[in-house]
């Protein structure tokens, strides 16, 4: 039996951890403990996701809260060390690229605990992004690097990671997506808080927006809203507004067009119920780039770069930048791209099983 700590800190982590928990229970040789660092500490943005994903309550809640990157990372490290000393895991499994990922990986290695990184090797090559620093450092100390696409494998090998540590397994985010799609087939959508909005608006676009580079600058945010306002003249745009984005919209005194339908933050399942039927998705989220590719839905990523190039090369994703004209041009490209997009290698819903098999094999070699 191998003892593993699973670390979740922010919303994208929860979607990646849920299928790993299900697969661990099926494997039968894994004893795990779930740690929620509290990096996303608002109930609407955190506990609702645990509820939707059927994860139950975490075994440990570190209550990291807000603060600067240094304060948050330090808080997580201090509390996570206590968990490791108490639980004594053989492995710590971290996912994604948030501060929790970095903090828990560092603590683990200092305590001589093996680290497995799910979604390793992704690179935006933009070191002004905090996530890029988190990815680079976490990968540099991980004992197993699980990659979602060939570019991740190539990046790690170029950085001189041993081939034996690098494994293309597919994507746990897609495991979760396909699992949730099956649930939605049997789910009574009238239970959703905003169920009436979907049939009321007719064909629609869907948008998420939260990255500081997009929303913290008034000029950038206005440029984006102007472009989406043009799209909204063609079809309504469903827009669940992230708390950070709401704060900035209010702070800048912005009034969004009426046909941009503003909703509060949504749980994973209700959000999926909306965007799976959208004509097009606008986002600055990493995960949504991948999920739209998996379902063949046109996606415009409102960023200058992406650490997930397979979504552009194979999938439905088009990078737009933040200029109004470039967003509208990307919108046209994305609508055309739907006709010949594909699904990346091993995005088949079985990544979690591959991850545990590799970890168990590695553990058996060390025991």
Check: CB of residue 192 under 8 Å from CB of residue 280. Answer: no
Q: Which of 231, 351, 354 is nearest to 298 (CA)?
A: 231
Rounded to 5 degrees, what are φ and ψ at 116? -115, 130
* Cα(271)–Cα(266) distance, integer angstroms: 6
Catalytic (active-site) positions: 210
* Cα(116)–Cα(166) distance, integer angstroms: 10
* Cα(332)–Cα(320) distance, integer angstroms: 11
Q: Which two tokens stand for residue 225?
A: 């809203």
Inter-axis angle of helices 11-27 and 172-186, nearest 10: 90
Q: Which of 122, 304, 274 is nearest to 196 (CA)?
A: 274
**H or E stretch at 295:** helix 286-295
Residue with tokens 């009436």: 196
Check: CB of residue 274 under 8 Å from CB of residue 244. Answer: no
Enumerate residues 6+ apart whose C-beta is below 8 A from 211. Answer: 284, 303
Q: What is the distance, to the nearest Å, from the Cα of residue 72 to the centroid of all Cα atoms in its chain? A: 19
* Cα(340)–Cα(337) distance, integer angstroms: 6
* Cα(237)–Cα(230) distance, integer angstroms: 10
Residue with tokens 């740690």: 35
């Amino acid at each position: 039996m191998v003892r593993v700590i699973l670390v979740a800190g922010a919303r994208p982590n929860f979607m990646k951890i849920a299928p790993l928990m299900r697969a661990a229970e099926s494997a039968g040789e894994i004893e795990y403990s779930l740690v929620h660092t509290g990096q996303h500490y608002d109930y609407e943005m955190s506990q609702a996701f645990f509820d939707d994903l059927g994860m139950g309550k975490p075994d440990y809640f570190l209550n990291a809260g807000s603060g600067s990157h240094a304060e948050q990372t330090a808080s997580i490290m201090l509390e996570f060390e206590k968990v490791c000393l108490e639980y004594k895991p053989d492995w710590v499994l971290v996912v994604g690229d948030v501060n929790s990922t970095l903090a828990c990986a560092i603590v683990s290695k200092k305590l001589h605990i093996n680290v497995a990184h799910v979604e390793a090797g992704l690179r935006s090559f933009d070191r002004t992004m905090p996530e890029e620093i988190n990815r680079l450092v976490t990968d540099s100390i991980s004992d197993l690097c699980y990659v979602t696409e060939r570019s991740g494998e190539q990046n790690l090998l170029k950085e001189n990671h041993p081939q034996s540590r690098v494994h293309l397994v597919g994507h746990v985010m897609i495991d979760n997506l396909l699992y949730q799609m099956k649930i939605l087939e049997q789910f009574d959508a009238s239970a959703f808080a905003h169920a009436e909005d979907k049939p009321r608006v007719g064909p629609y676009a869907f948008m998420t927006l939260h990255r500081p580079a997009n929303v913290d600058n008034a000029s950038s945010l206005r440029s984006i809203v102007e472009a989406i306002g043009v799209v909204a003249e063609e079809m309504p745009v469903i827009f669940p507004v992230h708390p950070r984005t709401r704060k900035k919209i209010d702070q800048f005194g912005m009034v969004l067009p009426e046909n941009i339908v503003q909703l509060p933050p949504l749980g994973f399942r209700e959000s999926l119920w909306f965007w799976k039927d959208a004509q097009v998705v606008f986002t600055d989220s990493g995960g949504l780039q991948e999920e739209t590719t998996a379902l063949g839905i046109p996606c415009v990523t409102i960023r200058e770069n992406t650490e997930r190039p397979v979504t552009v090369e194979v999938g439905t994703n088009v990078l737009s930048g933040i200029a109004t004209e470039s967003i509208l041009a990307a919108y046209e490209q994305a609508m055309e791209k739907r006709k010949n997009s594909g699904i990346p290698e091993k995005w088949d819903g079985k990544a979690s099983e591959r991850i545990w098999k590799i970890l168990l094999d590695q553990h058996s070699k060390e025991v």
